[in-house]
Chains A and B, each alone.
Chain A
């Protein structure tokens, strides 16, 4: 008995010690698991923030490039939101100051843009193509503690300017559209633009706004809708005499053209196209002095056809075009194959007056056309419903009885001859999140 009591006395408290030991192990295990979960959580938040920071840095690149092409600072200047000299705005000597912008929701970007450098410079990665110049654009995106930095080399490119600066219709002097009958007529699925007056009848809707510079006028009827989009300057007009698209001008096509492909409908004396029965005009570049399509007659363009028609006049070609020519009158209809996009049929009209040829372009029957129309000296007028897919650039637009305009984004790819220098992204690379030399914003991007 005595021995048992002694053994029992020896084991007193052992159960509690074991329990506390087990508890200690469980606590350590729990702490480790908690720490691991915290690490996962931190990692997930960091992933989110880093991805948002990369988007912010890319926004910085876009803003810098856009401003460079729009504001066009001097070659020796840097660019923030204005042209700036190197070494100013807190930048080290010879370096460019930074611009800081907000993307909202806690995201921000910073960019620096160098002055123009020879294309052979390797500050921004591999040299630019031979003959080009370059600028180096570096942007940092920041979200909370996360930071991403990217850099792009902007190379000079000689480019043309868009013949159709808006996806929709421009009437330099005026745009006048009558009342909508509420069944889909007078709907502009695109933008309208004018330096003068835009007049919209009742219930006319314009999906991408009325674009106009200061001093222009917008008059809209009941139920009509057209959000105002201010333009910095008047719409740039390339006068027909100096227009050059794909190497073709009014002057060059007057002598070198595919007019003979029009067959019997074409009259060489006076370069007149008179369509008296249904016909298809094949691919080619044409120069007519006048176009007349008779009533109930269709002028068609086949699938895949690429057609450019220069409608000349005695104003542009006084020797080749008869006096009073230069008009297009559609009493029938023009049909471009449904599979063709608008740039497949390009109409360029010289005009009968230096501005505002009132009867230059007339549509007198219901018509559905996919094409582009550049006629900065002419007015288009309709007497019946017109559905136009593409783009228009005219002196004036007078629509009485209904138009449905569907803008075709492809029309912005039609450019005049190359006269402008633009900067386009060349090399792109991601850099260390901070420059390796604190005073050199472009460093750390190998």
Chain B
């Protein structure tokens, strides 16, 4: 009887430990998911704010500084005048086809950041980039890269609390001059 109670206690203890571990892992996962949700909304909001600046205001007021950390969004910035940004960050994508000159204009309205986002529970940083995109259909093969057809707006969001997301969330869109025409 004593042996049986001991075995039952042992089974229960193992079960309880496993359950607690499961709950802990689940809580961690749920926190990560909630942080991802919050970061998505922060990124979406930051994108809308940049778009609200209008085409003419869509430029970086200063050049972001490159980073050597591959998990830092500024890792894809190349220093120079005016500097460049690798918009396609998939492995294998590099070179002139995946990199564009940054739109730097002291009179523009976009602060490259990073700026903090979040509250007491979740948070991180928001990075903003505006680069010149070239359209082969308009500029021709000889005109690309180089021709200024679109402004590519990229918003990268990192999560630093409560967990560290390994890769930043990247939101991207293209914006054209609403007054563009053949004579412009």
Contacts and interface: CB of A to CB of B under 8 A. Distances in A.
Interface of A: 8, 11-13, 15-16, 18-20, 22-23, 26-27, 29-30, 33-34, 36-38, 40-41, 43-45, 47-48, 51-52, 55-56, 58-59, 62-63, 65-67, 69-72, 81-82, 102-107, 159, 161-162, 165, 189, 205, 207-209, 214, 225, 227-233, 236, 406-410, 412, 420, 422, 424-425
B138 A66 contact: yes
B61 interface: no
A65 B176 contact: yes
Contacts of B57: 409
A48 B157 CA distance: 11
B181 A104 contact: no
Contacts, number: 206
B183 A66 contact: no
Contacts of A51: 40-41, 43-44, 171
B37 A16 contact: no
Interface string B1-38: 10011011101100110110011001001101110110
Contact of A104 (B15, B87, B136, B180): B87
Contact of A161 (B9, B146, B183): B183
Interface in B156-184: 169-184
Contacts of B30: 36-37, 40
A103 B178 contact: no
Interface in B37-72: 37, 39-41, 43-44, 47, 56-57
Nearest to B149: A66
27 contacts: A13-B4, A15-B4, A16-B8, A19-B11, A27-B19, A30-B22, A37-B29, A40-B30, A40-B33, A44-B32, A47-B36, A47-B37, A51-B41, A51-B44, A63-B135, A63-B174, A67-B135, A103-B172, A104-B87, A104-B88, A104-B89, A105-B89, A207-B81, A227-B146, A231-B147, A406-B107, A408-B107
B109 to A, nearest CB: 10
Contacts of B171: 51-52, 55
Contacts of A30: 18-19, 22-23
Contact of A66 (B82, B90, B176): B176
Contacts of B108: 409
Given A66-B150, A104-B90, A159 B179 contact: yes
Nearest to B107: A409
B116 interface: no
A232 B138 contact: yes
A406 B29 CA distance: 52
B101 interface: yes
B140 interface: yes
B26 A422 contact: no
Contacts of A47: 36-37, 40-41
B105 interface: yes
A30 B25 CA distance: 11
Given A43-B33, A47-B41, 16 more contacts: A15-B8, A16-B4, A19-B12, A19-B15, A33-B23, A37-B29, A43-B37, A48-B39, A48-B40, A51-B43, A55-B172, A55-B173, A189-B105, A207-B81, A207-B105, A425-B178
Range, interface on chain B = 35 or more
B7 A33 contact: no
A56 B179 contact: no
A51 B33 CA distance: 15
B34 A40 contact: yes
B179 A70 contact: no
Nearest to B5: A15
B11 A16 contact: yes
A70 B147 contact: no
B79 interface: no
The 10 closest A-B pairs by CB, nearest first: A104-B88, A66-B176, A81-B137, A19-B8, A15-B8, A44-B33, A44-B36, A23-B15, A409-B56, A59-B174
Contacts of B19: 26-27, 29-30
Interface in B94-151: 98, 101, 104-108, 135-140, 142-143, 146-150
Contact of B170 (A26, A29, A105): A105
A144 B171 CA distance: 14
Contact of A40 (B29, B41, B44, B139): B29
A55 B47 contact: yes
B173 A70 contact: no
A58 B179 CA distance: 17
